Structures are given as structure tokens and as C-alpha cells.
Homo-oligomer: A and B are copies of this chain.
Amino acid sequence: MVWRCETGGVPTTGLRERKREKTRDALAQSALRLFAERGFDRVTVEEIAAAHDLSARTFFRYFASKEDVLFSEGDRRRTHLLAALADQHPSARPFPALEAALRLVSTDYAQERDLLRLRHHVITSTPSLSTRAAERRQGWEGEVIDQLRTSGRADGMSDLELRLVVAATTTALQVAIETWVASDAPDLETILDEVFDRLRNGFGR
């Protein structure tokens, strides 16, 4: 996972960093479980921290807020996506560039089906979180559109066309992930193959 690579650093830093990440992951996992069991609004930061013998103050060294447990991973993925998009060959047009970048990012999801399922459940069952998630998705789409525009990939494309490519691709990724999260059988990659093939070839045949 590109965005998790440590950029150099002596072994001690690496060890401390890994320990830090382990604590962070453990906090996130138990927070998600508590949210799913009792409802997001009924769980306090104190309880999440106490499950690991930590104080609320320590929790805030890992997450900026209770919402941040649900959304910080998304921030990392967005950074990852924008980097992956920038890395695509300059001549790649918006759709293939976006497909390649989204496929790279989706490898982050592949080992986290249970956590994604919990997260999805918590967000869809809490109206304020659904709103935040929708707003974030819009912001995320806006950034992708801006990057495709400034990189020159979208030259000659109307705003309508570019918005459509990005919105349709994002929607397709969401359908793919939701289908995968709700199922047990197939791996995410096979689902993504089907979905992107369909967008590439169109709904006409």
C-alpha cells in the first residue's frame, strides 16, 4: 500500500511507527464494533479508549474526533487515488487513467471486507454520517475532476462529459464494493473487471 510506505527513517522510527499503527488499527476496529452494536451516537470516546486501557486524551493522539475513526481511512485512500492518478502515463485519457488508479486503490480494500461491512452499516444507519459521507464523496469527485482537468488529460472534453465519466466511474466502483461487501463468494477484482468492462463497452449491446 503506497501511502503506508515509510519514507526512509532509521529502524527505531520504523518500529515506533509500526506500534503506533497497530494501536491505531486496534482502536479503529473496536470503535467500529461498538458503533455497530450500540449506535454511533451512544458510544463515547472514553469507552473506545477504555477498551484498550487508554485515556480519551490518548485516543485523540490517534484520531481527531469520533467521526475521524470512520473517515480518516477514506482521506488516506483519496490521497492514494490522487497520487495514483498523477502517476498514470500523461497520454492516458480520463477513463482509462481513472480505471487504473481506482484498481490500484481498491487493493487497499481487498483485505478489509469485515471492517468495510461494519463501517458501511454504521454510516448508513446514522443520518448525520450518511450526509457527511455523501458530502465527502462529492468533494472527492471534485478533486478528481480538477486533477484530470489541470493534468491536460481531459483536453477537448466538455465539462458535462468529464463530470459524467467521473460520476459514472465512481458510482460503478461503489456498486462493485457494495456488492462485494454484501456477498461472501467472489473476489473484488472479478467484480471490478465486470463493472469496468461494462462502462468501457457501453450499455448498448
Contacts and interface: CB of A to CB of B under 8 A. Distances in A.
Q: How many copies does the complex hold?
A: 2
A161 B158 CA distance: 28
A127 B134 CA distance: 10
Interface in A159-205: 159-161, 163-165, 167-169, 171-172, 174-176, 179, 191, 194-195, 198-204
Contact of A199 (B160, B195, B203): B203
Given A127-B131, A160-B194, A179-B163, A168 B203 contact: yes
A128 interface: yes
A3 to B, nearest CB: 27
Contact of A128 (B127, B172, B179, B203): B127
A130 interface: yes
A95 interface: yes
Given A168-B168, A175-B167, A203 B130 contact: no
A36 B169 CA distance: 32
Interface of chain A: mostly helix, strand, loop or mixed: helix
Contacts of A131: 127-128, 130-131, 134
User: What are the 10 tightest A-B residue pairs by CB atom distance, in nearest-first order?
Assistant: A202-B202, A200-B204, A95-B203, A171-B171, A201-B202, A127-B131, A131-B131, A167-B171, A160-B179, A168-B168
Interface of A: 95, 127-128, 130-131, 134-135, 158-161, 163-165, 167-169, 171-172, 174-176, 179, 191, 194-195, 198-204
21 contacts: A127-B131, A130-B131, A130-B135, A158-B194, A160-B176, A160-B191, A160-B194, A163-B179, A164-B172, A164-B195, A164-B198, A165-B203, A167-B171, A167-B174, A168-B168, A168-B203, A199-B202, A199-B203, A200-B202, A202-B202, A202-B204
